[in-house]
Structure 1
Amino acid sequence: MKSQILKRLWAKLIEPLDGWLMLFLGLIFMLSLLVLYSASNQSFDKIDNKLVYTMLSLTIMWLIARSRPQMIMHFGPPLYLVGLLLLVAVHFKGITVNGSTRWLSLGFTRIQPSEIMKIALPMMIAWYFQKHEASLRWWHFLVAIALMLLPVGLILKQPDLGTATLIMAAGFFVLFFAGLSWRVIVGGLAVFAASLPVIWHVMHDYQKKRILTLIDPMSDPLGAGYHIIQSMIAIGSGGPIGKGWLNGTQTHLDYIPERTTDFIFAVFSEEFGMIGNLILVGLYLLIISRGLMITARAQTLYGRLMAGSITLSFFFYAFVNMGMVSGILPVVGVPLPFVSYGGTATVTLFIGTGMLMSIGKLRK
């Protein structure tokens, strides 16, 4: 009798979860603990914090996964409005760190409201398209673009180009899955290319320097080019099989900056080499493939738009971080999903995963 009760409880516990996603995420999580332990100079403090945030994130993910997408959908507009209000509050009462005002203090901790928009914006746009599903016209896409540009503009004022780019990408992915015409996409890219001189003129000096440094890191090897040069040395020195766990010289001689957050991929590459990188990239591709399967099987427009946006956002985050650390993209401060140290980003990623699972479990 007791064993039957335990079996039923266990079945209730794992019923909302997607087994494949949990397997791939579990493998990435184990790799993240190994590399974080090494990157933090074998300190258990960051490991403990990551475990706490991961357990909290898994709990939230499970609660979302067992909720129906139709119920989650109605949280889009209020969450979007709360996110906008918090971004405005950051402008007036935000905490400034290293010249950027991105955080709000809650007394016992601080939050970065822009992280909320990574989920709130696609939820809002997907809700809007679901509401007008029967009569979608071109002007609905214009409204969706306006909904996207409003928070992006507030985030750019912080300034935080990296997060603004990620949020804009998440919104664009919703537009893409909603049926945005390829002619519009190509036309938008042409307009963007033509406006590059204007964009360059309004960019901050540090943003211009990052782009110039990308082209020629050696122009300022001890300043703006330091991050890229050291990370490229670490990646190259890893070779095919790496130097071995805890044996990365660039890491443990403190040459790699931000090695537990934005540049943790350089630490991983140095210690686990090309083979380790292929395994990590393979796990990301498996997560993305599973997400696209869920997208294809989604039973509602809202489910398809959200699942597609979340899945391609995971790809975009990983691609931008790896490209940034490898020296093929400018340094924009994007963490490596599910690997980098960071509480708010971890919670946001698992919220997205929970929504994927919720959409995947919905059947006609």
Structure 2
Amino acid sequence: MTSSALTRPGERERLSVKLTQIDWRLTALLCVIAGIGTAMLYSIAGGHWDPWAAKHLIRFGALLTMMLGLALVHPKWWFGAAYPLYGVLILMVLLIEFTPLGYTAGGAKNWLNLGFIRIQPAEFMKLGLVLALARWYHSHSAQDARWSWKLVFPAGMIGLPFILVAKQPDLGSAMVIGLTGAAVMFLAGLSWRVIAAGAVAVVAIVPPFVMFGMHEYQRNRVLTFLSPESDPSGTGYNIIQSKIALGSGGLLGRGYGLGSQSQLEFLPERQTDFIFSTVSEEFGFVGSFTLLACYLAIILIALRISSLSHSHFGRISSAGMTAFFALFVLVNGAMVMGLAPVVGVPMPLLSYGGSSMMTVMIGFGLVLSTRVHRYVELPKGNGLI
């Protein structure tokens, strides 16, 4: 333990000391990516702040303030909120399914319409799941985490929201929820034998699930991913146009505001799912590589922060938040490159969208809180069995 003011009783809770412990490198990188997103949304709109760039920038400014405020929150509050938050989010997903409050948009009934606001609980479910899993693992031994009958509880925590969200149907969010949960179990020390058995089970289940468990439009997306040229003007259109945008940028790109695929609106959902393709078209390989390097730097810094925590809850929760951020980048990048089916996963902080940005910023609020309170040790609680 160091001799810094943060470690001396009576000093560590001072606001001025806490502010110095925030990782400003991580904060700056988040600002850089959000700034690039704002610039790209301005370009896509033909050099206008409306309808996307101004709102994107204002949202980020407000959520940046919120993130820094959350960084000062003591881990005991995150720990205490874990199970209640998970339960509330499950209830919200159930309200979508079984009450008139459910609102359909984009072919999926995945919004909760409260009249004055619409909420997409599946986005926040990733946060609730990570916190709930982190609390469970905090209260159990390394042997339980590696392999025991008690793992039925975290498996159930993952499976319940996965099934409910997939049924909406929101396959992209369900996939990220499942992968995030699996990543947390892996980071917590799950046995390699279990991981291998799970991988084999997934490989065996996927083909029949694609053929018989998916809606027709979802199945078409998967089959189109395998052969987009089979329907170039229909289901294969999105991937083909994205590949054209990616390839036409070359090494240095066509120039800012000069991307024909986005400016002439050939590229679908260019402000959300396929904004990375616009970056590649206008700034080429160099611009795309630089952006991905920023994402990688964020992930590495966040993982380093998680490793410094003296609390098992802090380590697991911050690493889990980093994992779902990394999954956003990986899935969206693979999707726009034609390496994965189009499932509607945004590129974090780059794509336009309030719910996904809020999820990411709350997640990094927790990561920064772990950094600020890295010497805090939480008591072991019994929690779930």
Secondary structure in 1 aligned to 2:325?
helix
Q: Comparing 49-58 with 225-234, which one deviates more in the overlay?
A: 49-58
The within-5 A match list for 1:16-27 is 17-27=22-32
Secondary structure of 1:24's aligned partner: helix
Q: Which residue of 2 aligns with 1:194?
A: 204
TM-score (norm 2): 0.89
Question: Is the counterpart of residue 49 in structure 1 residue 59 in structure 2?
Answer: no
Aligned-residue offset at 1:108: 2.7
Could you report, residue by residue, the CA deviation over 1:311-359 in whole angstroms, capped at 9, with x for unpaired residues?
1222111011011001111000000011100001111100011111111
Query: 1:196 & 1:334 partners in 2: Cα distance?
Result: 20
Distance 2:371 2:17 in 1: 17
CA contact (8 A) 1:54 1:346 kept: yes
- Out of 9-18 and 266-275, give the one that drifted further: 9-18
Other-structure match for 1:101: 109
Distance 2:79 2:192 in 1: 27
Q: Which residue of 2 aligns with 1:35?
A: 40
Aligned counterpart for 1:208 among listed residues 216, 219, 222: 219
Structure with a larger share of its residues in helix: 1
Of residues 119, 124, 138 in structure 2, which corresponds to 1:116? 124
> Residue 168 of structure 1 is aligned with which of 178, 197, 206?
178
Question: 1: distance between equivalents of 2:206 and 2:117?
Answer: 39
Amino acid at match of 2:229: M
Shifted more, 59-68 versus 282-291: the winner is 59-68
**Pairing of 1:283-362 with structure 2 (within 5 A):** 283-362=294-373
Report what 1:235 is aligned to. 246
The percentage of aligned residue pairs carrying the same residue is: 39
How many residues are treated as equivalent by the alignment?
356
Q: Deviations over 1:174-230 (max 9, x none)?
A: 111111011100111111112233312212111111111111111111111110010
Name the residue aligned to 1:77: 83
Give the SS at the match of 2:111: strand
- Gaps (5+ residues) in structure 2? 1-13, 376-385
CA RMSD, Structure 1 to Structure 2 (Å)? 1.7
SS for the counterpart of 2:297 is helix
Q: 1:131 aligns with which of 139, 153, 158?
A: 139
Deviation readout 1:235-272 (Å, 9 max, x if unpaired): 10000000000000111111011000011011111001
Q: Which runs of 5+ in 1 are unaligned?
A: 1-8
1:90 matches 2:99:
no
Task: Pick which of 106-115 and 278-287 moved more.
Answer: 106-115
Q: Does structure 1 conserve the Cα–Cα contact (< 8 Å) formed by 2:18 and 2:72?
A: no
SS in 2 for 1:247: coil
Q: 1:223 to 1:90 in 2, by over 3 A?
A: same
